[in-house]
């Protein structure tokens, strides 16, 4: 659009901008006259000559011109911003302040998948917009599995959940994104899964689809896959005393055995470049919470992701699950979770282990079995800073409370940085 066309559009009747431009012009003229009168009066005082203008007139021009100018600027700004404030719940000042504070927030990378990782994202999005969620794409069950088989796309389910976690929870678009159809041929599909799959098909790229989806929902941060390759999770599971090899993430937990080992097929997929870059540039990396073998470890089994975690200077924290998961971590202690991660990453890659120490019975039900702590004599205390605190959601005690988790992560970050600074000195 040319400059002439832009000016013509601004001057069209009914927009509401011309009145503020006219008022602004009047205010500037009065303010300019007041400044000129004040300068002449000041020159007369210095020269010992009579004042050419009344002092009250000068003050009236300065005050009136300033107020009219300020009023016009506010009115013009509100008219310009009106189309963008349809869904805004707070004042412009508070919105700008919150936005500025989040933009200056810590660079955080959260790694996982499933329903656990969104807790971390909800916890941190109020403090920073510099969040990158790295999500596994090994899911093959439910709506994601059907789309993966029918359309040949990467499973969008975990990506969808984490995008929604970074969006406004009360937004109608977020609720629509999470809506799951209950009947018909679309029964079981989440709208967001269909949206991401369709957008990936239209743009020819899952990366572009995720970026555009983030724009639609106005998320605080970004969501990346661990890899763009079509991978499958394979596990060796002890079932009734016999070792079996089970292929497929959804089948592993259904085997009702003890998981001995997990790996990816193909065995060394290429890591998504954006995920690697985010880890290397992060100030803090949070692993979990989430299903240990089917949400967290599949990300670490991507060689590029594991290598980036070993090389980054970020503070690395593992958030242990609150409850054990049937068919996956039955009977596991905090140490068992840490040692499973150690088996892939190596010793000492993470610095902090954050675990729950509150085990309420109210609302827990009969199927919640809490992950138990280990004595301070255990070997993990020699390699990690292990911190126990209350992380339980009172309504769903098998899950993390986002606010408690945010407070704990922030506090451990400060403590760990102090330790690192002291070690350097």
Residue-wise pLDDT for 296-345, tens only, equals 999 999 999 999 999 999 999 999 999 999 889 999 999 999 999 999 99
* Helices and strands: H and E segment counts in the chain: 16, 10
Compute φ and ψ for 105, nearest 5 degrees: -70, 170
| Domain-located, residue 34 | yes
Task: Identify whether residues 14 and 146 lie together within a single domain.
Answer: no
| Domain-located, residue 259 | no
pLDDT tens digits, 203-259: 988 989 999 999 888 888 999 999 999 999 999 999 888 899 999 888 888 887 899
What pLDDT, on a 0 to 100 scale, did the predictor assign at position 418? 44
Give how many domains the chain has, as a whole number.
3
Nearest to 238 by CA among 260, 262, 265: 260
| Domain-located, residue 199 | yes
Alpha-carbon torsion (253, 254, 259, 262), positive or negative: negative
Task: Identify whether residues 124 and 272 lie together within a single domain.
Answer: yes
| Domain-located, residue 144 | yes
Task: Identify whether residues 277 and 353 lie together within a single domain.
Answer: yes
Which residues lie across from 147 on neighbouring strands? none
Task: Identify whether residues 276 and 372 lie together within a single domain.
Answer: yes
Task: Identify whether residues 317 and 390 lie together within a single domain.
Answer: yes
| Domain-located, residue 243 | no
**Helix, strand, or coil (residue 263):** strand
Domain that holds residue 186: 138-218
pLDDT tens digits, 173-186: 888 888 999 888 88
What pLDDT, on a 0 to 100 scale, did the predictor assign at position 10? 54
Mean pLDDT of the chain: 85
Task: Identify whether residues 49 and 106 lie together within a single domain.
Answer: no
Which residues lie across from 76 on neighbouring strands? none
> Which among 218, 244, 278 is the end of a domain?
218
Task: Identify whether residues 397 and 298 lie together within a single domain.
Answer: yes
pLDDT higher than threshold 90 for residue 56: no
pTM over 0.85: no
């Amino acid at each position: 659009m040319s400059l002439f066309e832009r000016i013509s559009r601004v001057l069209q009747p009914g927009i509401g901008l011309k009145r503020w431009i006219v008022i602004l012009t009047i205010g500037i003229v009065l303010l300019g006259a007041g400044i000129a009168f004040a300068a002449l009066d000041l020159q007369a005082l210095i020269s010992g000559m009579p004042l050419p203008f009344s002092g009250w007139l000068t003050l009236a021009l300065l005050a009136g011109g300033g107020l009219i100018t300020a009023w016009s600027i506010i009115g013009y700004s509100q008219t310009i911003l009106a189309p963008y404030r349809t869904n805004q719940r707070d004042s412009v000042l508070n919105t700008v302040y919150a936005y500025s504070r989040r933009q200056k927030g810590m660079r955080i990378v959260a790694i996982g998948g499933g329903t656990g990782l969104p807790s971390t994202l909800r916890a941190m999005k109020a403090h920073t917009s510099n969040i990158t969620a790295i999500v596994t794409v090994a899911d093959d069950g439910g709506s994601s599995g059907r789309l993966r088989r029918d359309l040949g796309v990467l499973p969008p389910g975990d990506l969808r959940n984490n995008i929604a976690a970074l969006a406004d929870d009360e937004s109608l678009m977020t609720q629509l994104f999470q809506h799951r159809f209950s009947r018909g041929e679309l029964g079981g599909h989440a709208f967001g899964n269909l949206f991401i799959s369709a957008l990936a098909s239209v743009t020819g790229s899952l990366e572009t689809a995720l970026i555009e989806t983030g724009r639609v929902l106005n998320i605080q941060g970004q969501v990346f896959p661990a890899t763009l390759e079509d991978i499958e999770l394979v596990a060796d599971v002890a079932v009734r005393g016999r070792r079996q090899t089970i292929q497929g993430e959804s089948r592993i937990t259904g085997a009702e055995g003890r998981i001995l080992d997990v790996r990816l097929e193909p065995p060394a997929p290429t890591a998504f470049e954006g995920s690697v870059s985010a880890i290397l540039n992060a100030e803090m990396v949070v692993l979990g919470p989430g299903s240990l073998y089917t949400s967290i470890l599949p990300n670490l089994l991507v060689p590029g992701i594991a290598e980036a975690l070993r090389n980054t200077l970020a503070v690395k924290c593992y958030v242990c699950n609150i409850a054990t998961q049937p068919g996956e971590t039955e009977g596991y202690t905090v140490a068992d979770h840490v040692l499973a991660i150690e088996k892939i990453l190596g010793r000492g890659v993470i610095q902090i282990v954050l675990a729950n120490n509150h085990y309420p019975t109210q609302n827990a039900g009969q199927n919640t079995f809490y992950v138990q702590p280990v004595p301070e004599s255990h070997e993990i205390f020699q390699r990690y800073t292990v911190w126990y605190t209350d992380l339980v959601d009172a309504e769903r005690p098998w899950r993390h409370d986002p606010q408690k988790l945010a407070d704990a992560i922030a506090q451990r970050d400060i403590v760990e940085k102090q330790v690192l600074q002291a070690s350097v000195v």
